[in-house]
Chains A and B, each alone.
Chain A
Amino acid sequence: MIGISLFLIFFVLMLAGVPIGVSLGIGGMVAIALANSDTQLFGLFAAPQNFYATIAKYPLLALPMFVLVGSIFDRSGVAQRMVTFAIAAVGRGPGMLPMVAILVAMVLGGISGSGPANAAAVGGVMIAAMARAGYPASFSASIVGAAAATDILIPPSIAFVVYSVMVPGASVPAMFAAGMFPGILAGLALIIPAVWLSRRHGFGKGETDQPRPPFWASLREASWGLAAPVLILGGMRAGWFTPTEAAVVAVFYGLFVGMAVHRTIAWKDLFEIFREAAEISAVIMIVLGLAGIFAYSVNTLGIADPIAHAVAESGLGSTGALLLLFTILIVVGMFLDGVSIFLIFVPLLMPVVQLFNWDVVWFGVILTMAVAIGQFTPPMAVNLMVSCRMAKVSMEQTIPWVLWLVASFVVAALLVVLVPELALWLPRSLGY
């Protein structure tokens, strides 16, 4: 009864357009009050304690820092230079520019940790370049939106930081390592339909006549940007710094490259960069803190257990249950943003994970892949929203192209569902 009112209040408020964090907080507080109607102030003291304890955590510091890294590299001019180098490497021809967009989004994914920041950085360069080569704007927007979705899989990833803070036993380095191969797999899964669609529809014929940039000169230009993921991931792997410290090192490196090397960031831009990053991370952090109240209610009221029982008695078995959850999550991902999905579903699903003895790291990767698919599946797709705005097309126009990319990404995710080693081999051999 209390469980139902918790979700009912949350859903009604959320659909009415109340901020998601506030909806979670109110739902959680009402449930606490109903369950403790006979105690002083309805037991609501638990609410501020849980709110504070959820955000006052040292490992969470990685979140604002990786948001800041994204804001800096967005403006540092590395995306343009990586694109030039990638064109020099793969050559010219139909389907080559979409492939470049996806490859650059993947490398940038190794620097920043958020999909929309990545879509903005890649879209800023690629959408105009693809238009000049004769690709339709709706196709370019689809490619950029989908390519940026690999960002939350390829380490470092803000989604993994959030998951790791919520789930004991899934450390940040283990999650980062586990996302590597699924991220690359997802990138390949996008490249194949991108090239195939371009060839079938004769897109990018104008590309063939355009000059190919010189290889070594463009490699030298791009090397500052290409060194960043090596620094971040290598530094963490070598034990030089923690994930948070790696992010801060990347902040200073990005500022150096943007201010001294490529000269795209001026002193007067610094306030705006820090202000914007602080606001974006606060928007995520406040939902996180208020979801702490919601999660406390879910856990103390035992709301998640009936779900686990229902799954156990449904006779689906481990794989069947996982496929069912995966489908539900993709559908939910079309309507809700990724971090909110984590905050709502992780506390609900943990009993199911324990029931089937699923590896929490592997489960986190699958959850993230489902969220990544939602990031570019209309109607509510954060990355696609960014790239559509840049390409000046409506989201409806992207449907004929983007659905192919969605289908292919789903196949890649199903491979990780069926072959857990794709995610788990790397963290195990690195000893996390």
Chain B
Amino acid sequence: MPAAFSRSFPVSSPSKNSTPEDWIAALGMAALCVITMLNVVVRYLSDESIAWTEEFSVFLLVLTTMAGTAAAALRDNHIRIEFFLERGSAARRRRLALFGAAITALFFLALALLTGRMAWDDYRYAEISSGLGVPRWWYTAWVPVFSLVIAYRVFQTIKRKEK
């Protein structure tokens, strides 16, 4: 089997040690199913739509995405072109792998700062969500937190690669 040219589809291997992100992502997914299904059932039984759940579902979608991104980062499952990563001398391959991981960790640190500033602005200016009318930072504050978790998970893969 030749080296894969690119990893475009995470063939995620079942893991024995599930991280908290795994649980958050899996439970977020399950909650999204239950909420959406309830929406359908309630609409048919009572002719009323519980549209306010939309905003909460979007929040769960963002949460699941960030948690799942951390889970995929730890398993090194993100979409990338592996052509050069898997060719050349062992030293070059190792350098490239470390470079990619370092850039990714730095990027998510920067994203944590920028999204943190976004959430801080939501808090400072008391932004209100359009659907439920709750403080918007309740939703946005999780994005920098998970960006930090992602950066940390990438950092863990760097330590693993160095060994």
Q: Is B truly associated with A?
A: yes
Report which A residues bind B (CB closer than 8 A).
Answer: 13-22, 25-26, 29, 44-45, 47-49, 51-52, 55-58, 60-61, 64-65, 68, 114, 116, 241, 244-245, 248-249, 251-252, 271-272, 274-287, 289, 335-340, 379-380, 382, 385-386, 388-389, 394-396
Q: Would A248 and B37 count as touching, CB distance under 8 A?
A: yes
Bound CA span A245–B40, Å: 7
Report which B residues bind A (CB closer than 8 A).
Answer: 1-2, 4-6, 8-12, 14, 18, 22, 25-30, 32-33, 36-37, 39-40, 54, 57-59, 61-62, 64-69, 71-72, 75, 77-85, 96-97, 99-100, 103-104, 107, 110-111, 114-115, 117-118, 139-140, 143
Q: Would A61 and B97 count as touching, CB distance under 8 A?
A: no
Q: When A and B form their complex, which 10 residue pairs have the shortest distance between CB atoms, in order from nearest? A: A282-B68, A337-B8, A278-B25, A380-B5, A17-B85, A19-B78, A274-B26, A275-B26, A116-B9, A48-B114
Bound CA span A417–B30, Å: 41
Q: Would A283 and B72 count as touching, CB distance under 8 A?
A: yes
- Contacts A22-B104, A386-B9, A396-B2 given: A282-B69 contact, CB under 8 Å? yes
Q: Would A379 and B30 count as touching, CB distance under 8 A?
A: no
**Other A-B pairs beyond A52-B115, A248-B32, A337-B79, 15, CB < 8 Å:** A13-B103, A14-B80, A17-B81, A47-B114, A49-B118, A56-B62, A58-B57, A61-B61, A116-B9, A274-B29, A279-B12, A281-B68, A337-B6, A380-B4, A386-B11
Q: Would A275 and B9 count as touching, CB distance under 8 A?
A: no
Bound CA span A110–B83, Å: 33
Bound CA span A270–B75, Å: 20
Bound CA span A6–B111, Å: 18
Chain A residues with CB below 8 A from B110, complex form: 29
- Shortest Cβ gap from A358 to chain B (Å): 27
- Shortest Cβ gap from B89 to chain A (Å): 15
Q: Would B111 and A15 count as touching, CB distance under 8 A?
A: no
Which of A16, A44, A289 touches B84 (beta carbons < 8 Å)? Answer: A16
Bound CA span A394–B9, Å: 18
Q: Would A389 and B36 count as touching, CB distance under 8 A?
A: no
- Contacts A116-B9, A249-B40, A275-B22 given: A283-B79 contact, CB under 8 Å? yes
In the complex, which of the residues B22, B78, B80, B83 has the most CB atoms of chain A within 10 Å of its own CB atom? B80
Q: Would B99 and A16 count as touching, CB distance under 8 A?
A: yes
Bound CA span A395–B2, Å: 8
Bound CA span A394–B5, Å: 12
Chain B residues with CB below 8 A from A395, complex form: 2
Q: Would B65 and A57 count as touching, CB distance under 8 A?
A: no
Bound CA span A388–B62, Å: 34
Chain B residues with CB below 8 A from A29, complex form: 110
Chain B residues with CB below 8 A from A382, complex form: 8-9
A sample of 12 inter-chain contacts (CB < 8 A) reads A20-B78, A49-B118, A64-B29, A275-B26, A276-B14, A280-B12, A281-B29, A282-B71, A335-B6, A336-B8, A340-B8, A394-B2
Which of B4, B8, B11, B28 touches A278 (beta carbons < 8 Å)? Answer: B28
Chain A residues with CB below 8 A from B6, complex form: 335-337, 380
Q: Would A17 and B111 count as touching, CB distance under 8 A?
A: no
Chain B residues with CB below 8 A from A245, complex form: 36, 39-40
Which of A65, A249, A338 touches B32 (beta carbons < 8 Å)? Answer: A65
Q: Would B140 and A280 count as touching, CB distance under 8 A?
A: no
Chain B residues with CB below 8 A from A386, complex form: 9, 11
Bound CA span A22–B5, Å: 18
Chain A residues with CB below 8 A from B117, complex form: 45, 48
Q: Would B14 and A272 count as touching, CB distance under 8 A?
A: yes
Bound CA span A340–B9, Å: 12
- Contacts A13-B103, A64-B61 given: A248-B33 contact, CB under 8 Å? yes
Which of A14, A15, A52 touches B118 (beta carbons < 8 Å)? Answer: A52
Chain B residues with CB below 8 A from A287, complex form: 79
Bound CA span A57–B59, Å: 9
Q: Would A252 and B33 count as touching, CB distance under 8 A?
A: yes
Bound CA span A282–B77, Å: 10
Residue of B nearest to A60 (CB): B61
- Shortest Cβ gap from A307 to chain B (Å): 23
Q: Would B115 and A48 count as touching, CB distance under 8 A?
A: yes
Chain B residues with CB below 8 A from A15, complex form: 81, 83-84
In the complex, which of the residues A14, A44, A274, A282 has the most CB atoms of chain B within 10 Å of its own CB atom? A282
In the complex, which of the residues A68, A116, A385 has the most CB atoms of chain B within 10 Å of its own CB atom? A385
- Shortest Cβ gap from A32 to chain B (Å): 11
Bound CA span A339–B9, Å: 10
Q: Would B68 and A283 count as touching, CB distance under 8 A?
A: yes
- Contacts A52-B143, A64-B61, A337-B9 given: A17-B114 contact, CB under 8 Å? no
- Shortest Cβ gap from A27 to chain B (Å): 11
Chain B residues with CB below 8 A from A57, complex form: 58
Which of A13, A21, A249, A272 touches B79 (beta carbons < 8 Å)? Answer: A21
Q: Would A394 and B1 count as touching, CB distance under 8 A?
A: yes
Q: Would B26 and A278 count as touching, CB distance under 8 A?
A: yes
- Shortest Cβ gap from B162 to chain A (Å): 17
In the complex, which of the residues B30, B77, B85 has the most CB atoms of chain A within 10 Å of its own CB atom? B30
Q: Would B40 and A241 count as touching, CB distance under 8 A?
A: yes
Chain A residues with CB below 8 A from B33, complex form: 65, 68, 248, 251-252
Q: Would B78 and A21 count as touching, CB distance under 8 A?
A: yes
- Shortest Cβ gap from B92 to chain A (Å): 11
